[in-house]
Structure 1
């Protein structure tokens, strides 16, 4: 057997790089996406403001390509919109009516998805939903700048999406995911929240799903969404 060539990297690590690690280009693309996303969420890029590719490229010290890729992803998220001749602009904040309509849609979709998840979820899906709630306990809720609660916001969306996926109704799950409700709602959060009950409400939803109580699961999700809307409207009143 020929001697092992260490210059080629260890087994499973071609060229000395761990197998499965993302390529540098993807890491850069993700970093630029998160940076611009934070600027939109924190209103450093004001709602309705033009988002200039060249200006962002200079500010971030990158070529225009990852900026264009990031803006395409943010357009899919509903955080920017592309218009002919004027390029990208940050989307406007939800109005009170827009917020109420968003939650009207959620209340139509998510309690039903949660009831179906209580009936149809596999053991693996139940474990995954429980893990998300456990992870949320380690992260602060929506206070301060987006960077401070980014992980909480991502886990919040994962929680709702995972339940919708566990309904085993692909069209329903897709509709829930496409609302991107967490981004629009957290983008409105501009007050300090001393005690956020979101996690406790999530735990009540999970307990009902784990017990396969479809009616109770739907009720718990409806209660969570109703209280979430009330909190947002209260923030709006107090801001």
Structure 2
């Protein structure tokens, strides 16, 4: 049972990487048997992984058609998603500054201290983009974890899934700016400054929205 759980986790991470690196492109139909052969597993852990990815918003399942990779957001959908991030993640940072224990504050600070991978060009760039996506998501997740509200944390995770699919099309010239913004959020949380943490998170999200909207121009 333990081995099956580990295998399912491995397959889930492999499929997630394929999606985030756009080797499974938005709206691609997913062939379960072909993926099972590629990953050298039976179809069962692939189906289990796809069910998890569906709950995360990265794939969709339609009756009689099977699974497809979720489509890219439209500009309006993207703006709506960022509206929701502002509603959820500002309070998450505030509550993290108020409620997080020493270990949780240290986790936020440690995550904000690690430099993002350098952007690359061409096919290899997909890997650096996926790593950036994972690292950015981890930072926002540890902030949400420090807020002490599992439902809030889950809602933030689900919102990020759609952004992750889009990231390959975003400019990566400002990763240092993103890192500086993360560090301001982390410093306010570490210092127990709820107003500062919320303001820093909202400023980060507002700046990120503008950076990301370039992909639609």
TM-score, structure 1 length as denominator? 0.79
Match of 1:52 in 2: 31
CA distance in structure 1 between the aligned counterparts of 2:54 and 2:172, rounded to whole angstroms? 29
CA distance in structure 2 between the aligned counterparts of 1:140 and 1:186, rounded to whole angstroms? 18
Match of 1:82 in 2: 61
Computing the radius of gyration over CA atoms, which structure comes out larger, 1 or 2?
Answer: 1
2:164 aligned with 1:186:
yes
Kept in 1: contact 2:170–2:212 (CA 8 A): no
2:110 aligned with 1:137:
no
**Higher fraction of helix:** 2
After alignment, is 24-33 or 223-232 more displaced? 24-33
2:183 aligned with 1:203:
yes
- What SS is found at the alignment partner of 2:106? helix
TM-score, structure 2 length as denominator? 0.86
CA distance in structure 2 between the aligned counterparts of 1:209 and 1:115, rounded to whole angstroms? 8
Match of 1:156 in 2: 136
- What SS is found at the alignment partner of 1:89? strand
RMSD: 2.4
Deviation per CA, 1:46-104: give whole Å up to 9, x if none.
32222111122233332211211221121122111112211111111111111101100
Relative contact order, higher structure (CA 8 A, sep 6+): 2
| Offset, 1:25 | 4.1
CA distance in structure 1 between the aligned counterparts of 2:153 and 2:39, rounded to whole angstroms? 35
1:67 is aligned, of 32, 37, 46, to 46
